[in-house]
A and B are shown apart, each in its own frame.
Chain A
Amino acid sequence: MKILRAGAAVAATAAFTLGLAACSSGGSGDATGGSSESSGSGGNTLTVWAWDPTFNIYAMQEAEKVYQQDHPDFKLDIQEMTWDDIQTKMTTIAQAQQYDQLPDIFLVQNNAFQKNAINYPDLFAPLTDSGIDFTEFPAGVAAYSTIDGVNYGVPFDSGTAVNAMRTDILSQAGYTIDDFTDVSWDDYITMGKDILDKTGYPLLSGQAGSSDMIMMMLQSAGASLFDDQGNPTIVDNAALEASINVYSEMVKDGIFTEVNSWDEYINSLVNGNVASTINGIWISGSLQSATDQSGDWAVTDLPALSGIDGATHYSANGGSSWAISSNADYALASDFLKSTFAGSTDLYDTILPGAGAVANWLPAGDSTVYSQPVDFFGGQAIYADVLKFAAQVPSNNTGVYYYEARDAVSAAITKIMGGEDMQTALQEAQDTVEFAMS
């Protein structure tokens, strides 16, 4: 009786855990449900997955119009899908080998590109024969979607990092934006303390436990968490240690306010609680929602790490690339991308003022639209400046285990801020990443 009941309990608890077990069983029937679109079936229609109606979807719609000028029958079927959903769908489709469920073109986060293309090589079509000239993109950006020398993605939005500052707060403390141009982090901190004393405004804000800031500093010196062979280089990484030192000093001095969520971070900018922010240029969209601060902002390059070889004032954060799926009408899809995102100044001239989408395609920078002054940034032609920065961003190896390494480094930073010895914490992080890779 008792044994029977225990058996029944095991069965019952088994049922509880099942949800989890089923989750990890690799989705045997999941992919077939849901989308019934017949993508890649030829004709003149391409299916596209992208996630932001005001940004990348808008850009796709404009690209459709551009391509329609020469190909009147051409049509896009754009499906809105968040990045998390695209990632889950890709995983499920690849695990179930149901590649016919893929659209023709989909947007991929740059930081996740390597991971997906290496784990699931059958998802992507190589762009070797597409005729797209990848030398017209900054090397650092194209590198995200290049595996073993083969390009798999057309870089779309620029993640080029900018240091956007409130000139009104700076002038209260007697500074101008020029004082923050081409400086080192040491100077930056000194001036930051001064501004905090005089005005009470911290310079920066950011999510606690997010390593975005550190990763930007690392890339600005061309450094990464991995060497060229893909081995983790978290310990004995001078650039990383310098970055962590700068970061923790800024937090301790109160120059950098840590908040808990992305919303809080955006609020700190829009509500005018901080004097500046350092992030990818896409942040300008959020900044400009604070119309009352119009004219008070200016953009310059990043501070550089002192005493680190190859340290520059240029970096990147985020950004995404268009990939052609293995299931696509390859000829049409590649020609479409080649004639639009990798070949149409008109397209970029439309989407820049329309959505603030800064091109990665270098020839677009010659357009006059880029040299237009932007009122919100006090008449500065910020997009032209951003393109100049973009061309100088050092490339670094993100690798397959980028997310694991980032998480591990974030955890290490939290521990270091909590008083743990840096070497120990970084060694633990390295062990965690090596474990994940084993």
Chain B
Amino acid sequence: MDDNKQNRTVIEAEIPMGTVHPAALEPYRLRLFVEDEIVRDAEITVGVNHRGVERIMEGLPVEKANSLTEKICGICSNSHIWNSCRTGEIALGIEVPERATYIRIIMEELERLHSHLLYLAHGSEVLGHETFSMRLFYIRETVMDLLGMIGGNRVQYGSAVLGGVRPRCELDEMRLQKITEGMDLLEEKITAFADRFVSDPMVMSRITGVGVISQKDALRLACSGPTLRATGVARDLRREMEEYDPFEFDVITQDDGDVKSQLLMRVFENFEAIKIIRQAVRDLPDGPITNRSWEMQDTPLTKSYIEVPRGTLYHSYALEDGRVRNCVIRTPSMANIGAMQHACIGHHITDAQLSVVQCDPCFTCTDRAIEIIKL
């Protein structure tokens, strides 16, 4: 019997939240087992939004399959297409031009910025602070405009292709200038927000010591990304990715593992993302942005892990006649679900959604496997 089962107490009542609930952006089922409004146990069930992307990808030409991965998530769409292309590139031994890698990094870090700002806005909304939420969405608009300028769309940019980035995403002087100006503006706005945020006693009293995930629990529950780093573990996969070698940035950590740490974690990570984008813009090498000199061949199952805004993203597939076989995708929220459940326990029911949201869930793109139950 595991620790969790041993510690389970007699439960007074269950409060089910979902599958559809106004505080949740996506459909998922949160069962809260409460005693006098204090959560004694929690259970998250996903599977409502399963779209069978891997099943659809099965047998598709690799380029088509890659662009399909972008549809998995409306927030980290670039992360998916990048990792999917990266998997193919590792399998086929394609060398990506340096300029293309830099552009991919810019796109990815812009995506990290907009994802973190969305997280902070959503967190503020669940906290009940609508004004913070609205202001953060305004701040995020700067990033969305830049992503739209580069990729042609504000959500599905489709920048990465096998061997580089598509020609639409080439960065000329005018675009680089706009990115630089955007970063200046963002830095100023995020700094102002951070100052206001940490100096608000009501907000701080509401988030300090709530939804605590200890470092030990975070490791036991195999958390990834900022959720893990907010508990003090300095693990950032970008440090292990060769694409990030030329860039200097700090791995941000927080110590307490509570909602405050999780929120501050993302605030400070934004500054690191801005730092990386500035370096990429400044040192952007000349040269082609796509390598077309490669040949399709059959490959064994190949894996790729990258650090995306929410944590570690995994893609793997084999190639057979240029078509994708045995595709598996694992999104970061899958790793963090255990932490989300754990964070609710011992806190007030009003804090439950906040405890879930603090781990930056994206259940819609986590819905990768289903079990069909016969009624």
Q: Please say whether chains A and B are actual partners in one complex.
A: no
